Amino acid sequence: MNGSSFCHTQPSTWINNDDIIAIQWIYMICNSFISMLIAFFLSTLINYYQLKKFKSIIESLTEQSMNNSIKNTEVTKNKTIETLSNFMPFKPYQSFYINQATSPITLDELIIEAERTYKFTIYPYDDMLLDMHYLQIELVQQSSSIIITIEFFSGYNVLFPQIEELFSIVFHASKMIQIWGELNTYRTEYLFYHNHNEDDTIKSHIVNIQPAFKTWYNSTFVHNANCGQLLDFNDIDGPLCSCSHRPYKCRNDQWSLEDASAYTYHEILDNNKIHDPHRCLAITKLSIVIHEKWDRHKVQHCDDPSRDNLGCGELGHFDLSCDDPSHDNPSRGDLGCDEPGRDGLGCDDPGRDDLGCGDLSTNH
């Protein structure tokens, strides 16, 4: 057999160099892409857990800061309350509570006292949740006050005629009634019993002490020298004010009775007492500083036990003639306390020039 008979052709399996290089490039690109995907995934995962941990730290710090702030606020509030004294009226008072069980004799005596009183202060209390409604009336007299708290009750009672008579005297147009806030903020439907005419009460000589107090306070306790709200010719409240002694930062804000007592006399009114007789007494007490035009020195030293020589709350120069229209006191001049058109605050009327107040030789 010839050697040539064993020769045959084998199939070709080789790949040229260009194809090998292309495959290698594709392999490298795929590996790089996969590596990038893995790296991106790991980076995203790490960032997610880091962000979550960072967020948790921020929340923890924020909560801790808020807790510290609340604690500091509570400490400051407690310190503030602790530095305030209990409310003290300028003069003694008697307190009476009128409900369905009140003796008619007591009401008769209160009616007599109301007839001889010119100036009254009223303050309503409404608890809509408990459906409890009261009206507190102070009979502002020369040497003392009488506080009457009237409970409003439904249905007929033998006391109604006497209560109506008492109301007709208190709300008579010849009397002066002091309130804190606008009358339309009072729930006036609870101020009237069956036969009392609401229109008669609205026409009564009512004096809102609240805005007069704001004017007096701002002119007495002026802005500090470095206060951003300090203006040359205006002492209004404003958002730039940094004075701690002026808590209201808007010119339209009105003082609450609690704040007015706290910042003026450093005294606290108890909000937890339903029949607290001090509400009317506080309004009357604040009206004194307005009428007498107390300065900062007198207000600040009235908290001092040695204040006897300052005349704080001496009724001789506040109530003497205005409590009783029949009482002639020549030293008061023409304050016009009996005139329904006057606000009963005398020389505090902005229309007066205050130069001749109490001087009978001057015609106003």
* Residue 211: partners with Cβ closer than 8 Å, 6 or more residues away: 254
Residue 150 predicted with pLDDT over 70: yes
DSSP secondary structure string for all residues of 159-216 = THHHHHHHHHHHT-TTSEEEESS-GGGS-GGGS--SS--HHHHHTSEEEEHHHHHHHH
Question: Is 318 within 8 Å of 286 (Cβ atoms)?
Answer: no
Tokens (6 digits) for 261? 């007592």
Interval 280-299 mean pLDDT: 87
**Residues paired with 120 in a beta bridge:** 139, 177
Q: How do strand 267-268 and strand 93-98 relate by DSSP bridges?
A: unpaired
CA dihedral 350, 203, 201, 147 (to 10 degrees): 30
**Tens of pLDDT, residues 44-71:** 888 777 777 777 777 766 666 555 544 4
Query: Given this model, what pLDDT does residue 208 score?
Result: 93
Query: Given this model, what pLDDT does residue 359 score?
Result: 38
Give residue 281's pLDDT band: very low, low, confident or very high (50, 70, 90). Answer: very high
Q: Residue 98, SS3?
A: strand
Question: Is 349 within 8 Å of 324 (Cβ atoms)?
Answer: no
What does the mean pLDDT of the chain come to?
71
Q: Residue 313, SS3?
A: coil
Interval 215-221 mean pLDDT: 83
Q: Residue 26, SS3?
A: helix
Distance separating alpha carbons of residues 179 and 197, to the nearest angstrom: 19
DSSP secondary structure string for all residues of 316-336 = GGTTTTTS-TT---GGG-S--
**pLDDT: is 341 or 146 the higher one?**
146
Question: Of the candidates 335, 326, 328, which has an alpha carbon nearest to the alpha carbon of residue 358?
Answer: 335
**Residues paired with 137 in a beta bridge:** 122, 148
Query: Given this model, what pLDDT does residue 317 score?
Result: 38
Tokens (6 digits) for 5? 């008979």
Amino acid at 144: S
Question: For the packed helices 209-220 and 278-292, what is the interaxial angle rounded to 10 degrees?
Answer: 50
Tokens 């940094």 appear where? 242
Report the sign of the C-alpha dihedral through residues 318, 320, 326, 327, in that order: negative
Query: Given this model, what pLDDT does residue 68 score?
Result: 52
**What's the pTM?**
0.60
Distance separating alpha carbons of residues 5 and 33, to the nearest angstrom: 54
Distance separating alpha carbons of residues 290 and 255, to the nearest angstrom: 14
Residue 9 predicted with pLDDT over 70: no
